[in-house]
Amino acid sequence: MKKKPMIVLASVFMMFSAFSCGGGSKTSSANEQNEKVVVNVPQFDADSAYLYVKNQVDFGPRVPNTKEHVACGNYLAEQLEAFGAQVTNQYADLIAYDGTLLKARNIIGSYKPESKKRIALFAHWDTRPWADNDADSKNHHTPILGANDGASGVGALLEIARLVNKQQPELGIDIILLDAEDYGAPQFYEGKHKEEFWCLGSQYWARHSHVQGYNARFGILLDMVGGEGSVFMKEGYSEDFAPDINKKVWKAAKKLGYGKTFMDGNGGLVTDDHLFINRLARIKTIDIIPTSPDGDFTPTWHTVNDTMDHIDKNTLKAVGQTVLEVIYNEK
């Protein structure tokens, strides 16, 4: 994914500083305390999620058209099946920015497929073919391991699938693992850059949903949700298309005591899968993605350092538990 370079970054920096100095407020309102509908929300196990992240990274980079990509795709589909989901594999030939034909596979695991009331949870499972943001230009053509950029969101969703299988929430849940998100033109490419070069798997899914006439009440995309010390602010397109969902998620995080991880504030615009899901599938979808004052999301973003060494179980826990809180409270 790509962040729009823009002036907003300056204000993000200011907000970031202001919030860092102020610290997280933990006062829960009287309203929240009165809403005592008892819902049994399962406990997100960060050790388990961490293992699912590592299992993906152990395949090596998961770049479309490689055997590691095929092997990891099989692992993910098997894992969702083992967790009791109805699995749909959506295979597609997609054309990359340079004309390369990508053999892509979106993998969808559905719970209560008969239910019309649904929530869609998304993450991309492919990894970037180039560490084109690495400080050392010798690494720019090296594929990244994508522990955070790819595997973390998928790992969190696998843990959610495991829990949903044990105790179903009221709504049907779709775990939608998208391919070919991160094949956007590299920084060293001299041709024209377009946002449509990114997020090829989600664009395909949004145009050809896995079930005819598919709809969901809302969607949540998880991208880079395992970085050490990551902070999440409300991403701009999410705020444009689905401000109520942002509000719901940030409120749940605050209630759980994760107000320092989910900070109020404008995270800037990010070209990511949710943009095309909002635009093309018209399912209101937010992106939980880290904000950093320098615009690089995390220090490891698109570098050879995106490894398990920089995955933090506390971040996985904050995001995973918050998503569970939201989906189990939906009626």
Q: Residues interacting with Zn ion, by CB under 5 A?
A: 128, 149, 182
Cβ nearer to Zn ion, comparing 149 with 287: 149
Q: Do residues 48 and 159 touch, judged by C-beta distance below 8 A? A: yes
Residues 6+ apart with CB under 8 A from 33: none
**What is the smallest separation between the CB atom of 182 and Zn ion, expressed in angstroms?**
4
For the sheet with 86-95, list strands across it. Answer: 86-95, 101-110, 172-178, 118-124, 218-222, 285-288
**What is the smallest separation between the CB atom of 217 and Zn ion, expressed in angstroms?**
28
Beta bridge partners of 101: 95
Q: Do residues 258 and 326 touch, judged by C-beta distance below 8 A? A: no
Cβ nearer to Zn ion, comparing 118 with 128: 128
Cβ nearer to Zn ion, comparing 3 with 254: 3
Cβ nearer to Zn ion, comparing 128 with 274: 128
**What is the smallest separation between the CB atom of 57 and Zn ion, expressed in angstroms?**
14
Cβ nearer to Zn ion, comparing 205 with 328: 205
Q: How far is CA 24 from CA 16, 27, 241, 263, 265, in A?
A: 12, 9, 26, 8, 12
**What is the smallest separation between the CB atom of 82 and Zn ion, expressed in angstroms?**
28
Report the alpha-carbon angle 47-51-57, nearest 5.
145
**What is the smallest separation between the CB atom of 115 and Zn ion, expressed in angstroms?**
33
Q: Do residues 266 and 236 touch, judged by C-beta distance below 8 A? A: yes
**What is the smallest separation between the CB atom of 85 and Zn ion, expressed in angstroms?**
25
**What is the smallest separation between the CB atom of 89 and Zn ion, expressed in angstroms?**
23
Q: Is the dihedral of CA 300, 306, 308, 313 positive or negative?
A: positive
Of 35, 54, 38, nearest to 46 by C-alpha is 54
**What is the smallest separation between the CB atom of 238 and Zn ion, expressed in angstroms?**
17
Cβ nearer to Zn ion, comparing 175 with 180: 180
DSSP 194-210: -GGGS-HHHHHHHHS-S
Burial of 111 (0-12, 13-18, 19+ CB in 10 A): buried
Cβ nearer to Zn ion, comparing 182 with 273: 182
Of 12, 67, 60, nearest to 293 by C-alpha is 12
Cβ nearer to Zn ion, comparing 19 with 183: 183
41: phi then psi, degrees, rounded to nearest 5: -100, 125
**Eight-state DSSP code of residue 41:** P
Of 35, 36, 40, nearest to 168 by C-alpha is 40
Cβ nearer to Zn ion, comparing 76 with 224: 224
Termini Cα distance of the chain: 32
**What is the smallest separation between the CB atom of 90 and Zn ion, expressed in angstroms?**
21
